[in-house]
Amino acid sequence: MASELRIHAGRAWIDGAFRPAVIDIADGVIVAITDPGDGEQGDAEPGTAESTGAPATGIRPATRPATVIVPDDAVLLPGLVDSHVHVNEPGRTEWEGFRSATRAAAAGGVTTIVDMPLNSVPPTTSVAALRVKQDAAAASAFVDIGFWGGAVPGNLGGLAPLHEAGVYGFKCFLAPSGVDEFGHLDRSGLEAAMAEIAALGSRLIVHAEDPDHLHGDGALGRGYAGFLASRPPESEEAAIDAVIAAARRSGGRAHVLHLSDGRALPAIRAAKAEGIALTVETCPHYLAIVAEDIPDGASEFKCCPPIREAANQDLLWQGVVDGTIDAIVSDHSPSTVERKRAGDGDFGLAWGGISGLQVGLSAVWTEARTRGIPLSTLIPLFTTGPAAVAGLAEAGRIAVGTPAHLTVFGVDDALHVQARDLRHKNPISAYDGRELTGRIRRTWLRGVPIFDVEDVEDVNAASAAPAGRLLTAPHTERIAV
Ligand SMILES: [Zn+2]
């Protein structure tokens, strides 16, 4: 098939390394990847760099593809994968919706998200609820979307039908979730869900905080230290120990969501070394923000588990560098400004969740640079890592035969974050006012532009029809139990 779009990049992320490449795209799929030194392909001219339409003159053959040149101060990446996003539609659409969330994703270089089963109403704990969610997403998705199901008290028998309907796995909480309609599992519930999910060949993803170690309910005051003390590291460690034990007994796959406590990493390392099918993610806010910098009353920084101290952050970065941590994902969990400011900055009353879908790579890269950690260490954690966590077969790679989901990251670009400029629904974010280094410049979904930083009026994206697809999990993978 003739190439319709050709992208030249001096540094493209292919097979786990940066290298020069010419990428040819036809019908939304990558059809060829060649070395620019290979004769025919190395013919792009700087003057065509901005061209994404048909050639303007008759000099060239009509079949010549539109050409984009990625400049040397930027890298071409596979579209990023974010396996932890709370879209909240339907039911709490005033908090966040598919249109605003997926436009924020596109601006953050993210071309595939997996939606969490709670905060929407109904929560995704039955096939009927999944259908409601898919219907809401169908007409509004600017990026591809898969769905997690929920494992809650009383729906054990509903997990197999949800699995067959194509959810990528099941989320459970071991402590109260924050919304009444999504209950948490006790230890026997965890064991039962883990056994059932292992038998299905699916995966259990766990909000790992142990309620026995959590203190305080209701108002906690405006002091961040008081909030932090109410959710100590022991709560994560105890819960993660329980997850590891359940995974060991069942032989199934388990995933620890949003790890904040670096002291839990030794247990996770040991479990992996033992051969337990365990993965773990952390989030940009845990890697880029420390408790010492959070002002009292600044409830935009509230999330659970909480952002901890600088010494703890160093441990998390060790886990990134040594490969223990499998993925860095946003845990984008917005609410209205009013809800996020509830109680006038009282950390017990405000909604717990951080809005960071659009700035994840920039935030983490900014911190990595100060630590001397190369971009190549981070990219797998934003691409193949979360794709593997969710079992997404085609996302997160630049490879022949895969959808042409691509993004350009200006590695030295300055990014002054202002919450009002971010595309998620409500203009509040823990990143407001931060000066970051590195910024997404362009994003393509199946070879079609869905974000361009130069398009300041956002004309193209605003007028474009949402072309994201609803993804369903294949069921070919079964693991012995
Ligand atoms: Zn979450």
**pLDDT at position 65, please?**
87
What separation in Å is there between the alpha carbon of 85 and the centre of ligand 1?
7
Chain segment 282-295, per-residue pLDDT in tens: 999 999 999 999 99
pLDDT-derived band at 465, boundaries 50, 70, 90: confident
Q: How far is the CA of 354 from the centre of ligand 1 (A)?
A: 9
What is the Å distance from ligand 1's center to 118 Cα?
9
Q: 20 C-alpha vs ligand 1 centroid, how far in Å?
A: 37
Tens digit of each residue's pLDDT (9 = 90 or more) over 206-230? 999 999 999 987 899 999 999 999 9
Q: How far is CA 17 from the centre of its chain?
A: 21
pLDDT band at 460; cut points 50, 70, 90: low
> How far apart are alpha carbons 218 and 340 in whole angstroms?
14
Which top CATH class is 79-390?
alpha beta
User: Rounded to the nearest whole angstrom, what is the distance from the C-alpha of residue 372 to the centroid of ligand 1?
Assistant: 29
Q: How far is the CA of 86 from the centre of ligand 1 (A)?
A: 6
Per the CB < 8 A criterion, the answer to whether 438 and 362 are in contact is: yes
Average pLDDT over residues 55-70: 68
CATH 3.20.20.140 intervals, the chain? 79-390
Sign of CA dihedral 177, 316, 442, 39: negative
CA of 96 to the centre of ligand 1 (A): 13
406 φ, ψ (degrees, to nearest 5)? -140, 155
For ligand 1, the distance from its centroid to the CA atom of residue 204, given in whole angstroms, is 14
Residue 458: is its pLDDT beyond 50?
Answer: yes
pTM of the model: 0.93
pLDDT tens digits for range 351-362: 999 999 999 999
CA of 16 to the centre of ligand 1 (A): 28
Q: How far is the CA of 66 from the centre of ligand 1 (A)?
A: 40
Q: How far is Cα 364 from Cα 289, in angstroms, rounded to an integer?
A: 10
Output the CA 257–ligand 1 centroid distance in Å.
8
